[in-house]
Amino acid sequence: MINVGIVGATGYTGVELLRLLVTHPEVTLKIITSRAEAGMPVSDMFPNLRGFVDLCFSEPDVDQLASCDVVFFATPHCVAMAMVPELIKRGTRVIDLSADFRLKDAKQWEQWYNMPHSCPELLDLAVYGLPEINREQIKSAQLIAVAGCYPTATQLGFLPLLENDVIDPLHLIADAKSGVSGAGRTAAVASLLSESSENMKAYGVAGHRHLPEIEQGLSGAYGKAVNLTFVPHLTPMIRGIHATLYGRLTKDCDLQALYQQRYADEPFVDVMPIGSHPETRSVRGSNTCRIAIHQPQNSDTVVVLSVIDNLVKGASGQAVQNMNIMFGFDETLAINTIAALP
Amino acid sequence: MINVGIVGATGYTGVELLRLLVTHPEVTLKIITSRAEAGMPVSDMFPNLRGFVDLCFSEPDVDQLASCDVVFFATPHCVAMAMVPELIKRGTRVIDLSADFRLKDAKQWEQWYNMPHSCPELLDLAVYGLPEINREQIKSAQLIAVAGCYPTATQLGFLPLLENDVIDPLHLIADAKSGVSGAGRTAAVASLLSESSENMKAYGVAGHRHLPEIEQGLSGAYGKAVNLTFVPHLTPMIRGIHATLYGRLTKDCDLQALYQQRYADEPFVDVMPIGSHPETRSVRGSNTCRIAIHQPQNSDTVVVLSVIDNLVKGASGQAVQNMNIMFGFDETLAINTIAALP
Amino acid sequence: MINVGIVGATGYTGVELLRLLVTHPEVTLKIITSRAEAGMPVSDMFPNLRGFVDLCFSEPDVDQLASCDVVFFATPHCVAMAMVPELIKRGTRVIDLSADFRLKDAKQWEQWYNMPHSCPELLDLAVYGLPEINREQIKSAQLIAVAGCYPTATQLGFLPLLENDVIDPLHLIADAKSGVSGAGRTAAVASLLSESSENMKAYGVAGHRHLPEIEQGLSGAYGKAVNLTFVPHLTPMIRGIHATLYGRLTKDCDLQALYQQRYADEPFVDVMPIGSHPETRSVRGSNTCRIAIHQPQNSDTVVVLSVIDNLVKGASGQAVQNMNIMFGFDETLAINTIAALP
Amino acid sequence: MINVGIVGATGYTGVELLRLLVTHPEVTLKIITSRAEAGMPVSDMFPNLRGFVDLCFSEPDVDQLASCDVVFFATPHCVAMAMVPELIKRGTRVIDLSADFRLKDAKQWEQWYNMPHSCPELLDLAVYGLPEINREQIKSAQLIAVAGCYPTATQLGFLPLLENDVIDPLHLIADAKSGVSGAGRTAAVASLLSESSENMKAYGVAGHRHLPEIEQGLSGAYGKAVNLTFVPHLTPMIRGIHATLYGRLTKDCDLQALYQQRYADEPFVDVMPIGSHPETRSVRGSNTCRIAIHQPQNSDTVVVLSVIDNLVKGASGQAVQNMNIMFGFDETLAINTIAALP
């Protein structure tokens, strides 16, 4: 059994983390912090947890948090980087769901997030928490930067093509559709049901913060720089990301075999049969990334369809997967759940 | 470990039953039948089950089914009553999610379902599968008629008032709102997203088949005839029932205490604090019925808010709860799941 | 042609008012105010108006507004009452979509809105803008308090029963379901798609501000005090109110005939044939209130189903209907639109 | 005034056509046919039309239809081609919303629709009903093949780039998202709210029938063959198409100016300012195609965002636009409506 603390559990990744950790047989939830809601029973805010979580939100306290075996940060960016250095110093392991430690280049981070990074010296220490790439480093990591939602769906979809050097790396296209929960539990007009229901729109076409994260990951896999056009869309649903990926093939090869081999041993990547169309609802609430590969009209354009639940494999499920690897638990413990259909 | 068969698992209660039973530590799934889809892998129809269910749909075969410890019927009405007599004769236990054995009066059944009942002699044998009323009989039952969705939400909401004789039993009102999955996985124009999304309507006001079922249950609890006005509504969501119940109080009493006492030991009924408004999403995918009691403006009208997931506590979860009771398992086994929020 | 000003057009009733007035052949839009957005082209905020509205939002200015023939207030409560006295003094006619002048009793207003009313002397002057009751007074009114959304659907549904004294006036029940746009274009967590989609809940059961408004209207029609239990629900859709009304019949009568006679000459009330179930989508974007009457199981409980679009007949369409009556235009001008199905 | 007949008005393009034609000042609706519903008042099936349409559905009768000035076909494919030859022979003008006359090459048609074409000799006579390309030919056309929904959004988005020869014509990509109404008012499991709500998926990636239609149109504009990868997606909403188009730039040019010039005189194409993201809801119920152009990160990949209402500019509105042009009416008559927001 390990003791676990969560900083900032009033958002959607927070409550999803609670849902998963509550059923984890090796975890004792010790601390759930929220500056704004300190004192309130967690289950008052999230009635789905009535009878499952007895804790109240508390003020974040470094001493208490440092006494945990691992601390999750389910916070907006810039919160983790203020507290993580002290926890790292005291030897506490940290799993950060925010973007604070995802980019290796502090300059790039500062450019995309419009503020100085307060602990750039930790960027090298941080392991990018995408187990399908970094499983070995995750085992011994002290600080995990959990991969983002779009980046998870996009990287898992492109990896086999780039690792095997069969597409033009400079003209990658990711047309990604996300449910509204990706915008978080923040009161914002654009996320109102009245604004985002019965509606479809692209956003951030000029530049989205997940672009450098994806390019960094794909460049790492390819060995050289890659270039991506990334167009995210807001879709009228709560959960789910559907990434439709396009690449120009530079070699003939058995694409289906490529993917099946690459992911043969991955517990949370499901390569579907030829001709399939994965649905986001088939992974809703589950930690699976489901992928299908197409080469329409036998042209030289490959189309990869990659779906995840943005709050599970795209955030909290992946965070628990990282934790399982870090502590030597069965990697699927507490996250091997089945999507509820319909 | 018990061997389980499911007849007719191509509908929504079927796939939900599979989701729950797959994780049940005491259950081995042996047979999943579908005349129409015999031979098709179950996970081809329901991709959320890929990696969890290896069986194919098979033709229903009484000999095979009879070899199971228990057989679930997740079928439209009139299917179970054709096969159940033979299974009962052979000693197999049966849990029927359809309406075939819910009414005790064959004449009434025939009037509401417009056809003769083929085995009225089994109606007395059947135990109405609402554990909060019939837990003792369920333990030894051979045939369970699982309570319907509207009837579960409505009865659990009215029970404490009627059992304690504090409302006028002849003027009960149930204004119930259901998600579209209640209409099943049948191709019907009225259930299309284009017809039922961005829309609210009542239906079946002149008479709905759940009305006699509810009145039978409430009359049983009250000891005398009751009279209910039941107005179901189609709500633009997939899952969930919100029953808003109205009664005229005939006595002063502490309503909140009444409910808390009645349900103190019930694992799946959650009486919320005074002033609460339960949300259907707080029970989505879970087996809980969440209830709040109001007496607005201190008038003599009591308002009870009762929410369930129509496919879980209103169908498949309740079916598993019945099974757990029948076989002496922990009553919450495999159904003690938390709703995913949001 | 009349000159029209709108105060506070950045909300949902505002943009809906613009959509209707733009096509009105007798209206020239002169002023559209918004303190927060002064200077911004209206069509930048509402791209559906690109090519139809060239005006920019401007600071509210009493002199300019007073030069209009009529000024609409599409503002939260407490805004209109600060500006209306001056406009009234100068002879400008005012149509207020907010709640500031709906209640005749200032004490009651202050109790429900938790603040002093700044011009109680105008409450008598104000005509309650529900044309089906007050058409004659509206013609010459200088100040209109447009009826609220729930109150419109509820009053139109109960009126024939109370005017003909055929139900118990002390035990009325209104179970009302509203789309989320009823909560306005305010950034609020509860109105997020991620919170309100795939969810159904009651709210404000202990007391909603529309309760005294409805009771005032129904008491007026009945001639004596009435008593209402009013339970509003938040429904996962953008537009639409479905009011399900319950009353205890005290006399035998031909209910269908009662309604058809009452509304025979009303251009915006459609009494459906016996056995009908009106759908909110059948009035989406239109100014119609569609009603059906049921007496299930021939009991003494009458059930009335009444649907409107909360932003049209429940707000902006009704406001234009009032304006048409005030200025002697055809009552249906610019609001005789057909709902788009699906 | 012209007399108008509609064949097959029980589907979504049919009811939308009725909504628009009912308000058309130059149109008298004479005949609305439906073999299946002959005798039923149209407004019984579509209650939004109560009070606006008094006709009943009738059996299709060529003599009656031939007496109209123009006949619309709002039918599935293969219905129009059985009746159109006779109407053409008698001199009646025909506007076909189906796919029967869209492709110029009968062989290609037969390959994609899996059946022989019964009147290939009419393919040359038919004018492709996309006014932004064929306005002149439409004026005198006797037979119009109204452009499809995806083809309208995609062609209007790509036209300026191809006409000006600034992109690689052999690697066009159209990632298109459609609301569920695109699948029609047919009872199909995949279109149920329970299946398609809270879900996103691609479909028909291997080949969709709109692909040859788009390629034919774009090849015509370009002057040589083009090659398109077309990936349609089912989006959880009723109406709207969002086409996200990708092309590889081969020349430097002022893209924004290109589009503004191309569509300067088009009443139904709205080129938005630089940096915009058009929303499908901004054209819901309206005949506008709204477009924005992006060149993210200054790469050589151009991204065009193009939105329409699939039932209006993508079907019935465009059909009326064609009719207006054919009969010399103001092109915007009866279709110059504003989207209702929210």
The predicted-structure confidence for B203-262, as pLDDT tens digits, reads as follows 999 999 999 999 999 999 999 999 999 999 999 999 999 999 999 999 999 999 999 999
Q: What is the pLDDT of residues D209-222, one digit of tens each?
A: 999 999 999 999 99
The amino acid that residue A116 corresponds to is: P
Q: What residue in B sits closest to A43 (Cα-Cα)?
A: B282
The Cα–Cα gap between A154 and A174 comes to: 7
- Please report the pLDDT score of residue D214 as a whole number: 98
Q: What is the pLDDT of residue A94?
A: 98
- Tell me, yes or no, if B55 comes closer than 8 A to chain D by beta carbon: no
Q: Give me the torsion for CA of B114, B119, B122, B128, rounded to 10°.
A: -30
CATH number of the D2-125 domain: 3.40.50.720
Q: Do residues B84 and B141 lie in contact, with contact meaning Cβ atoms separated by under 8 Å?
A: no
- Residue of B112, B154, B198, B249 to mutate, testing the C interface (most C Cβ within 10 Å of its Cβ): B198
Full DSSP string of D176-245? EEE-GGGG-S---GGGBHHHHTT--EE--TT--THHHHHHHHHHHHHSS---EEEEEEE-SSSS-EEEEE
DSSP A338: P
β-pair type (D241-248, D172-178) = antiparallel
Tens of pLDDT, residue by residue over A66-112, are 999 999 999 999 999 999 999 999 999 999 999 999 999 999 999 99
User: Does the beta carbon of B206 lie under 8 angstroms from any beta carbon of chain C?
Assistant: yes
Q: Which of D173, D178, D198 should one mutate to test binding to chain A, selecting the residue with the greatest count of A CBs within 10 A?
A: D198
d(CA A132, CA A155): 10
pLDDT one-digit tens code per residue, C191-230: 999 999 999 999 999 999 999 999 999 999 999 999 999 9
Binning pLDDT at 50, 70 and 90, where does residue A38 land? Answer: very high
The percent of residues above 90 in pLDDT, for chain A, comes to: 100
| Mean predicted confidence (pLDDT) in C66-86 | 97
The H or E element spanning position D127 is strand D127-129
Per-position b or e across B10-32, b if 16+ CB within 10 A of its CB: bbbbbbbbbbbbeebebbebbbb
Extract the tokens encoding D219: 């090849």
DSSP-derived pairing of the beta strands C269-271 and C289-294: parallel
Phi-psi region of A270 (alpha: psi -120 to 50; beta: other; left: phi over 0): beta
Q: Is some CB atom of chain C closer than 8 A to the CB atom of B280?
A: yes
Question: What pLDDT does D78 receive?
Answer: 94
CB proximity C250 to D under 8 Å:
no
pLDDT confidence of residue B57 = 98
Mean pLDDT of A209-233: 98
Does A342 sit behind a cis peptide bond, omega within 30 degrees of 0 on the bond before it? Answer: yes
Q: How far apart are CA B46 and CA B53, in angstroms?
A: 10
- Check CB contact under 8 Å for C294 and B242: no
Q: Do residues A38 and A104 touch, judged by C-beta distance below 8 A?
A: no
Backbone angles phi, psi at D130, to 5 degrees: -115, 95
Omega within 30 of 0 (cis) for the link into B342: yes
Largest separation between any pair of C-alpha atoms in chain C:
61
Cβ B31 vs Cβ B56: under 8 Å: no
State the residue for tokens 């008052």: A44
C-beta atoms surrounding C29 within 10 Å: 21
Q: Of the candidates A22, A239, A270, which has its C-beta nearest B338's C-beta?
A: A22
User: What DSSP state is assigned to residue C20?
Assistant: H
Active site residue C149: yes
Average pLDDT of chain D? Answer: 97
Cis-peptide into C342, omega within 30 deg: yes
Tell which B residues from 115 to 174 touch C, by Cβ distance under 8 Å: 171, 173
Please provide the CATH number assigned to the domain covering A150-310.
Answer: 3.30.360.10
D243 contacts D158 by C-beta, under 8 angstroms? no
SS3 B305: strand
Q: What whole-number distance in Å separates Cα of residue C321 and Cα of residue C312?
A: 10
Whether B231 and C244 have beta carbons less than 8 Å apart is answered as yes
Q: Is B190 on the interface with C (CB under 8 A)?
A: no
pLDDT the model gives residue B128: 98
pLDDT given at position B141: 98
pLDDT band at C162 (very low <50, low <70, confident <90, very high): very high
Residues of chain D with CATH 3.30.360.10: 150-310
Element (H, E) at B271: strand B269-271
CA distance D223 to chain B (A): 39
Radius of gyration of chain A (CA): 19
ipTM above 0.90, yes or no: yes
Find the DSSP H helices in chain A: 12-22, 42-45, 62-66, 80-89, 106-113, 131-140, 149-163, 193-196, 210-222, 255-262, 317-326
**Amino acid occupying residue C184:** G
Task: Tell me where in chain C the CATH 3.40.50.720 domain(s) lie.
Answer: 2-125
Strand locations in chain A (E): 2-7, 27-33, 70-73, 93-96, 127-129, 143-146, 172-178, 201-202, 228-234, 241-248, 269-271, 289-294, 301-308
C305 touches chain B (CB under 8 A): yes
Q: How confident is the model at residue D120 (pLDDT cuts 50, 70, 90)?
A: very high
Among C289, C282, C290, C291, smallest CA distance to C338 is for C282
Phi, psi of C176 (to 5 degrees): -115, 140
**C334 token code pair:** 């610019």
Residue of C12, C149, C193, C238 to mutate for A, most A C-beta atoms under 10 A: C193
Indicate yes or no: CB of A12 within 8 angstroms of CB of C236. no
Report pLDDT for C318: 98
**How far apart are the C-alpha atoms of B196 and B181, rounded to whole Å?**
11
The answer, for D25 touching chain C at a CB cutoff of 8 Å, is no
Contact residues on chain B for A270, CB-CB shorter than 8 A: 50-51
For chain C, percent of residues with pLDDT exceeding 90: 100
- In whole angstroms, what is the distance from residue B20 CA to residue B317 CA? 7
Structure tokens given for C43? 């069509």
Q: What is the pLDDT of residues D259-292, one digit of tens each?
A: 999 999 999 999 999 999 999 999 999 999 999 9
For chain A, what is the mean pLDDT?
97
Query: Active-site positions of B?
Result: 149
d(CA D197, CA A237): 7
Report pLDDT digits (tens) over B22-35: 999 999 999 999 99
- Give the CA radius of gyration of chain C: 19
Q: What average pLDDT does range D78-91 have in this prediction?
A: 97
As a whole number of angstroms, the distance between CA D259 and CA B143 comes to 70
pLDDT digits (tens, 9 = 90+) for A25-37: 999 999 999 999 9
Is A318 in contact with A147 (CB distance < 8 Å)? yes
Burial of B107 (0-12, 13-18, 19+ CB in 10 A): exposed
Q: Which chains touch D (3 or more CB pairs under 8 A)?
A: A, B, C
- Report the residue from D202, D230, D242 with minimal CB separation from A277: D202
Residue B320 neighbours by CB distance under 10 Å? 27
Taking 3-state DSSP, the helix, strand and coil percentages for chain C, each rounded to the nearest 5, stand at 35, 20, 40
Whole-number pLDDT of residue C264? 98
Q: Which of D12, D23, D279 sits opposite C47 (nearest CB)?
A: D279
pLDDT band at C317 (very low <50, low <70, confident <90, very high): very high
Predicted confidence (pLDDT) per residue in D254-266, tens digit: 999 999 999 999 9
Amino acid at A278: P
Say how far apart CA B120 and CA B103 lie, in whole Å: 10
Q: D47: Cβ–Cβ under 8 A, 6 or more apart, which residues?
A: C272, C278, C279, C282, C290
* Strands laid side by side in the B201-202 sheet: B201-202, B228-234, B172-178, B241-248, B301-308, B289-294, B269-271
pLDDT score of C212: 98
Sequential DSSP letters for C76-90: -TTTHHHHHHHHHHT
Distance of CA C127 to the CA centre of its chain: 14
Instruction: Return the pLDDT at C168.
Output: 98
Judged by CB atoms closer than 8 Å, whether chains meet at D242 and A305 is answered as no
- Tell me the residue length of chain D: 342
